[in-house]
Amino acid sequence: MELLVVRHAIAEDRDEFARTGKPDGERPLTADGRRKFAKAARGLHRLVDEVDLLATSGLRRADETAELLVAEYGRLRTVRQRALEPDAAPAALLAWLKAQRRRGTVVVVGHEPHLSALVELLLAGRSSGFVELRKGGACLLALPRPAAAGGAELRWLLTAAQLRRLAR
Q: What is the mean pLDDT of each run of 10 residues along the chain (168 residues)?
A: 97 96 97 98 97 96 98 94 93 91 92 96 93 97 92 97 94
Strand order in the sheet with 153-158: 78-80, 53-56, 105-110, 2-7, 138-142, 153-158
**Helix H or strand E segment including 59:** none
Q: Estimate the share of the chain in helix, then strand, then coil, as percent rounded to the nearest 5.
A: 40, 20, 40
Amino acid at 89: A
Which residues span the domain enclosing 99?
2-166
Give the Cα separation of 136 and 150 in Å (integer): 25
Say what the pLDDT of residue 162 is.
97
Give the Cα separation of 77 and 55 in Å (integer): 9
CATH number of the domain where residue 110 is located:
3.40.50.1240
Number of domains in the chain: 1
Give the Cα separation of 75 and 89 in Å (integer): 30
Q: What pTM did the predictor assign?
A: 0.96
Say what the pLDDT of residue 143 is.
95
Say what the pLDDT of residue 127 is.
87
Of 7, 2, 1, the closest CA to residue 115 belongs to 7
Beta bridge partners of 110: 7
